[in-house]
Amino acid sequence: MSFTVNGLAFRYKNHDTLKDICFDIQQGELTVILGPNGVGKTTLLKCLNKILIPQHGDIFVGKKNVRTMNIKEVARHIAYVAQTSEAARMTVFDAILMGRGPHIRYRVSKEDLIKVDAVIRHLNLSKLSLKYLNQMSGGELQKVCIARALVQQTDLLLLDEPTASLDLKNQTHILGLIRHIIKDHNMAAVMTMHDLNTAMRYADKYIFLKNGAIYSTGNICDITPQMVEDVYDVKVDIMRHKGLPIVIPREDPEVLVGGLVEEMALPVTDERAA
């Protein structure tokens, strides 16, 4: 099933946050949305999931327009993991089971419980399954939210900075698992991310946003230093280590800090001379 965004535009009051956004996503692909802070990455994800209603444009899941779907229909096709989530007084198991909501008709089935148990084991949450969400760290809570989205078993998975609260081990584990799932189950995933190196390691496609519009899209391996400079206003080199691209900024931090120190320098006074 393909996913098409055609002419999407969103405005907060008098500010055009997104302008004429158009792109396609194919099954089996992990697409990353990149760009500086405030460019509209999270807003775009929320428009795709109908959390926000764009003023213009259409979003198609196959031949179905998301605009015409009700909330339950959207939840059957699209799962969303927010950047932050509220830690309610609920156990990990129950929170993940909520992801089966769009598929439950009358009562929880044995199949629902099996799927929840499988995701809990794969995300190493078994020891935490009876722990309450409001007793967990930010990283643990994020893993629970990702687990809930995975058991939803949708066609499209949307993730807003999914590894922001996770340590290095959990980052690699979660992103590797997400990539494995979308390939094996022929799903698609779109995630926002700030870490270019992590994005280039795990993603298949990229979307660069600049000033609320698409600057460039394509295969992740086609990102060039000039693209990064144009979008982030930072000069970089892109090198390869064991076949993987690595983005390295050229600026010397000492020069930047030195300039700041000089501008902030205050005159030194000797109170004893007063």
Q: Which residues contact 179 (CB under 8 A, 6 or more apart)?
A: 30, 202
Query: What tokens does 248 get?
Result: 């390295």
Of 210, 224, 151, give the one whose Cα is nearest residue 143: 151
Whole-structure pTM value:
0.85
pLDDT band at 96 (very low <50, low <70, confident <90, very high): very high
Q: What pLDDT score was predicted for residue 261?
A: 62
Q: What pLDDT score was predicted for residue 137?
A: 85
Q: Give yes or no for residue 218 having a pLDDT over 80.
A: yes
Q: What pLDDT score was predicted for residue 83?
A: 80
Structurally, the chain folds into a number of domains equal to: 1
Q: Give yes or no for residue 95 having a pLDDT over 80.
A: yes
pLDDT tens digits, one per residue of 128-149: 999 998 888 888 888 898 899 9
Q: What is the residue range of 40's domain?
A: 3-273
pLDDT tens digits, one per residue of 182-196: 888 888 999 999 999
Q: What pLDDT score was predicted for residue 101?
A: 87
Query: What tokens does 87 get?
Result: 């830690």
- Calculate helix-pair angle for 138-151, 168-184, nearest 10 degrees: 10
Q: Which residues contact 58 (CB under 8 A, 6 or more apart)?
A: 4, 5, 6, 7, 8, 65, 66, 67
CA end-to-end span of the chain: 79
Q: What pLDDT score was predicted for residue 35?
A: 95
pLDDT tens digits, one per residue of 237-272: 999 888 888 999 986 655 555 566 666 666 655 555
Q: What pLDDT score was predicted for residue 265?
A: 67
What's the CATH number where 84 sits? 3.40.50.300
DSSP assignment of 50-117, as one string? TSS--SEEEEEETTEEGGG--HHHHHHHEEEE-SS----S-BHHHHHHGGGGGG-SSS--HHHHHHHH
Q: What pLDDT score was predicted for residue 260?
A: 60
